[in-house]
Amino acid sequence: MNFYLPPLFVFGQELATLGFHSFVINTRGHDWISRAGNLARFGGAAYETVEDCLPDLDGALDYLKQRSYRRFVLIGHSLGAIKSIIYQGTRRRSDIAGIVSCSAPRQFYSERAARQPGFRELIEKAEGLIAEGKGEELLSVGVGANPGIFTARTHVNKYGRDDNNDCRPYAKRLGCPILALVGGEEPKFFYEYAQEIVAAAAPRATCRLVDGANHFYNRHTREMVQLIYKWLGQVVG
């Protein structure tokens, strides 16, 4: 995923036309593998850690503050939704007026170990590689119905036994409202997880299921935008 593909690219354009200035960004985890560090090393989802979202979003918000923006709403899709919740649950910034979580995946260790055959063994393999000093070795990993690639270090960080990317504990301490959106054609656990996030963040928390929408909201993007727009009107005026 990256900022120049749907749905975030369309979200940004549509919300801007409705009066909400939008800054659509990548974190360092964009695409499976990308160039980083002035092209001197590799980056991307294969190499990032969950904690990398903190300086990434710090930098984006600092950039906007230098341009006289003072109040912000974080909108994240998929893993970006997880990052947005973890970010605000960690930083607890008073200038964050709200969070929009779009299809946050329930992909932490205890969940995946229960439903994904071979997942425990793959984590054990990654842990073994780290112990041998081979944490940067790449592994082919199933991500939903699709193949993915991660270093052993990143795989353990994101999906290891400590449930590092379960955002429910962070949702409890957001200090701002949250809107959780899910497509009706996504696997059932997306909606279940959204409801759990909203329960953790209550009372200023809302969950909406959009019938017929898949994970990327094909043919339903503008419907999603309208839900976000109406919610923003209630939250930030």
Q: Please tell me the distance from the alpha carbon of residue 72 to that of residue 30, in angstroms, as a whole number.
A: 22
Q: What is the pLDDT of residues 34-64, one digit of tens each?
A: 887 777 788 999 999 999 999 999 999 999 9
Q: Are 220 and 212 in contact (CB under 8 A)?
A: yes
Residue of 116, 115, 113, 69 lying closest to 93 (CA atoms): 69
For 105, the token pair is 């995946």
Task: Over range 77-91, report the average pLDDT.
Answer: 97
Q: Are 119 and 127 in contact (CB under 8 A)?
A: no
Q: What is the pTM of this model?
A: 0.94
Output the DSSP codes for 25-63.
---TT-SSSEEETTTTEEESTTT--GGGHHHHHHHHHHH
Architecture of the CATH domain 8-106+166-235: 3-Layer(aba) Sandwich (3.40)
Where in the chain is CATH 3.40.50.1820?
A: 8-106+166-235
Residue of 89, 91, 22, 31 lying closest to 55 (CA atoms): 91
Q: What is the pLDDT of residues 154-202, one digit of tens each?
A: 999 999 999 989 999 999 999 999 999 999 999 999 999 999 999 999 9
Which helix (H) or strand (E) element contains residue 154? helix 152-159
Task: Over range 19-24, report the average pLDDT.
Answer: 96
Q: At residue 183, what is the residue type?
A: G
Q: What is the pLDDT of residues 201-226, one digit of tens each?
A: 999 999 999 999 999 999 999 999 99
Q: What is the mean pLDDT of the chain?
A: 94
